[in-house]
């Protein structure tokens, strides 16, 4: 949605978001994603104003290789939750997508139920930007969704590599989806995703795949046993489910709630969220500091020459940093 040229009425926008107005929520997220200085100031004021209404949602990060059935799983899980009376927001972290709206818009066609559910809200990641920038905007979007009354936020990583770490760092529970078949567990271990997992769920556990799914779950379980749990209050389970048939979805969500109860009781959830808030601050600051590197025309013109001088050994890295800092007047 295009923003008006004049600054929006932030207090009215906050009031409309608190009332659950989806149109105003979309407008506020567009404000958050804007790079204009006046919009950024209004966005900061808006998030600060809404902060008391945030923090109550269950935040779940979801990842998995292409073809694992993430969209179907999110659609089935989200629909089950809305039937139970929850309001569900689905967000994405995808730094690689530079298409308008981001790749999750295509997923809307595969999230047929949630896309038409009045109690669900689906939002792509910003259409371009660095991982830090996209992740920061997704975090701010999460806060707006919580202020609007969404009590479950599902954050999907549709990129690869560092995006999984970013999503794990902004959620309470990190769910890794896997497929039946030999070698999956080793591939996941190689990427380090298993080390982040609060649960591994093997999808497509139905029909002829059922035995293979159970075998894959056993292999993942064995892999997890050799890793030290990243929480003293939780040992990541491995489950099987079928997004296509809906089998195992309730049990899967039960583990998410069990995890939340344990970490809340021990105080770990509050401590983890506090640490995440500080990380968000530094991520946003780094993005702000690096913004001139991408926008200053003089510097962009000079950078290839500076990099070539450093690569060839003609200029020391420290001297190059001083030259860049002088150009940026740091």
Q: What does the DSSP assignment read for 152-218?
A: EEEEEE-S-THHHHHHHTT-SEEEEEE-SSTTHHHHHHHHTHHHH-SEEEE---SGGGHHHHHHHHH
Domain with CATH 1.20.5.170 in the chain: 1-53
The span from the CA of 83 to the CA of 217, in Å, is: 29
Q: Report whether pLDDT(117) > 80.
A: yes
Domain with CATH 3.40.50.300 in the chain: 54-268
DSSP 242: B
Coil vs helix vs strand at 59: strand
Angle at 184 between CA 237 and CA 105, to 5 degrees: 85
Q: Which CATH number is 1-53's, of 1.10.10.10, 1.20.5.170, 1.10.3720.10, 1.25.40.10?
A: 1.20.5.170
The residues that bridge with 89 in the sheet, in sequence order, are 121, 153
Helix boundaries (H) for 207-248 = 210-225
DSSP 232: T
pLDDT of residue 25: 95
Over the stretch 180-206, which tens digit does the pLDDT of each residue have?
874 555 555 556 787 889 999 999 999
pLDDT of residue 308: 95
pLDDT of residue 180: 86
Residue 6 — pLDDT band, cuts 50, 70, 90?
very low
pLDDT of residue 98: 53
Q: Dihedral (C-alpha) 43, 45, 46, 51: value to the nearest 10 degrees?
A: 120
Closest CA to 21 of 133, 115, 144, 116: 144
The answer to whether residues 117 and 79 touch, using CB atoms and an 8 Å cutoff, is: yes
- Where in the chain does DSSP place strands (E)? 58-64, 88-93, 120-123, 152-157, 173-178, 199-202, 238-240
Dihedral sign from CA coordinates of 177, 55, 162, 154: positive
Q: Report whether pLDDT(135) > 60.
A: yes
**Position with higher pLDDT, 41 vs 153:** 153
The residues that bridge with 174 in the sheet, in sequence order, are 61
pLDDT of residue 5: 40
pLDDT of residue 314: 94
Q: Report whether pLDDT(48) > 90.
A: yes
**Position with higher pLDDT, 84 vs 93:** 84
Q: Report whether pLDDT(10) > 60.
A: yes
* Mean per-residue pLDDT, 238-262: 95
Structure-block tokens of residue 203: 């999808």
Q: Report whether pLDDT(4) > 50.
A: no
**Global model pTM greater than 0.75:** yes
Which superfamily is assigned to 54-268 in CATH? P-loop containing nucleotide triphosphate hydrolases (3.40.50.300)
Structure-block tokens of residue 106: 């295509």
**Position with higher pLDDT, 242 vs 66:** 242
pLDDT of residue 234: 95
pLDDT of residue 99: 47
The answer to whether residues 295 and 327 touch, using CB atoms and an 8 Å cutoff, is: no
pLDDT of residue 1: 42
Provide the mean pLDDT of the chain: 86
Q: Report whether pLDDT(102) > 70.
A: no
Over the stretch 262-296, which tens digit does the pLDDT of each residue have?
999 999 999 999 999 998 888 888 878 887 777 78
pLDDT of residue 191: 60
Over the stretch 12-43, which tens digit does the pLDDT of each residue have?
999 999 999 999 999 999 999 888 888 888 99
Helical pair 37-50 and 131-147, crossing angle rounded to 10 deg: 40
Q: 290: Cβ–Cβ under 8 A, 6 or more apart, which residues?
A: 130, 132
Q: 83: Cβ–Cβ under 8 A, 6 or more apart, which residues?
A: none
The span from the CA of 97 to the CA of 160, in Å, is: 11
């Amino acid at each position: 949605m295009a923003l008006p040229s004049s600054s929006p009425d932030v207090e009215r926008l906050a009031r409309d978001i608190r009332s659950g107005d989806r149109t105003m929520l979309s407008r506020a997220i567009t404000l958050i994603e804007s790079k204009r200085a006046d919009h950024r100031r209004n966005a900061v004021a808006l998030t600060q104003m809404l902060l008391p209404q945030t923090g109550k949602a269950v935040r779940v990060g979801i990842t998995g290789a292409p073809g694992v059935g993430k969209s179907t799983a999110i659609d089935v899980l989200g629909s089950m939750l809305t039937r139970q009376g929850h309001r569900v927001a689905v967000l994405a972290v995808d730094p690689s997508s530079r298409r308008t709206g981001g790749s999750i818009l295509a997923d809307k066609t595969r999230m047929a139920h949630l896309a038409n559910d009045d109690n669900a809200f689906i939002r792509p990641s910003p259409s371009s930007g660095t991982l830090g920038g996209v992740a920061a905007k997704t975090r701010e979007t999460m806060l707006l969704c919580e202020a609007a009354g969404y009590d479950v936020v599902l954050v999907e990583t549709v990129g690869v590599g560092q995006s999984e770490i970013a999503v794990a760092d902004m959620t309470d529970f990190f769910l890794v989806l896997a497929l039946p078949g030999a070698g999956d567990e080793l591939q996941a271990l190689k990427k380090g995703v298993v080390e982040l997992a609060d649960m591994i769920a093997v999808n497509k556990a139905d029909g002829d795949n059922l035995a293979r799914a159970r075998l894959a779950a056993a292999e993942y379980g064995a892999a997890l046993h050799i890793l030290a749990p990243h929480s003293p209050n939780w040992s990541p389970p491995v489950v099987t489910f079928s997004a296509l048939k809906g089998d195992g979805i309730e049990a899967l969500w039960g583990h998410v709630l069990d995890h939340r109860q344990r970490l809340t009781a021990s105080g770990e959830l509050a401590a983890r969220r506090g640490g995440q808030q500080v990380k968000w601050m530094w991520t946003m600051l780094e993005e702000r500091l690096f913004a001139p590197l991408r926008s200053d025309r003089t510097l962009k013109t000079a950078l290839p020459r500076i990099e070539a001088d450093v690569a060839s050994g003609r200029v020391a890295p420290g001297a190059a940093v001083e030259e860049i800092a002088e150009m940026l007047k740091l």
